[in-house]
Amino acid sequence: MSEAPTDLLQQRYGSGASPAVIDNPIITALLAHRSVRAYLDRPLPEGTLETLLAAAQSAATSSNLQAWSLLAVADPERKARLATLAGNQAHILQAPLLLVWLADFSRIRRLADLQGAELEAVDYLDSFLVASLDAALAAQNAAVAAESLGLGTVYIGALRNRLSEVIEELRLPPLVYPVFGLCVGYPDPVHPAAIKPRLPQELVLHRETYRVSPTEAGAIERYDRILADFYRQQGLPSANWSSQAIERLKKVETLNGREQIGQRLKKQQFELL
Residues 4 to 23 in contact with its own copies, rule: CB under 8 A: 9, 12-13, 19-22
Q: At closest approach, how far in Å is the CB of 110 from its own copies?
A: 7
Q: 95: closest CA among 143, 131, 137, 63?
A: 143
- Does residue 103 sit in helix, strand or coil? strand
CB 241 within 8 A of CB 253: no
Pairwise CA distance, residues 47 & 273, whole Å: 41
Q: At closest approach, how far in Å is the CB of 168 from its own copies?
A: 10
For residues 231 to 270, the per-residue mask of contacts with its own copies, x marking binding by CB under 8 A and - elsewhere, is ----------xx-xxx-xxxxx-xx--xx-xx--x-----
**Binds its own copies (CB under 8 A): choice among 191, 216, 232, 234:** 216
Pairwise CA distance, residues 178 & 169, whole Å: 11
Q: At closest approach, how far in Å is the CB of 203 from its own copies?
A: 7
Q: Which C-beta is closer to its own copies: that of 188 or that of 265?
A: 265
- Region from 66-74, 84-92, 184-192 binding its own copies, contact rule CB under 8 A: 66-74
**Binders of its own copies: how many residues, by CB under 8 A?**
129
Pairwise CA distance, residues 138 & 84, whole Å: 26
165-194: which residues touch its own copies (CB under 8 A)? 169-173, 176, 179-180
Pairwise CA distance, residues 271 & 260, whole Å: 14
Q: Does 210 bind its own copies (CB under 8 A)?
A: yes
Q: Does 31 bind its own copies (CB under 8 A)?
A: yes
Pairwise CA distance, residues 123 & 267, whole Å: 12
Amino acid residing at 246 = I
Q: Which C-beta is closer to its own copies: that of 2 or that of 63?
A: 63
Q: At closest approach, how far in Å is the CB of 7 from its own copies?
A: 13
Q: Does 92 bind its own copies (CB under 8 A)?
A: no
CB 265 within 8 A of CB 128: yes
**Binds its own copies (CB under 8 A): choice among 7, 10, 17, 62:** 62
> Which contiguous run of DSSP H or E holds residue 154?
strand 152-156
Query: With left for phi above 0 and alpha for psi between -120 and 50, is residue 31 left, alpha or beta?
Result: alpha
CB 177 within 8 A of CB 163: yes
108-147: which residues touch its own copies (CB under 8 A)? 108, 110-112, 114-115, 117-122, 124-127, 129-130, 132-133, 136-137, 139-141, 143-145
70-89: which residues touch its own copies (CB under 8 A)? 70-75, 78
Q: Does 39 bind its own copies (CB under 8 A)?
A: no
CB 240 within 8 A of CB 247: no
Amino acid residing at 174 = P
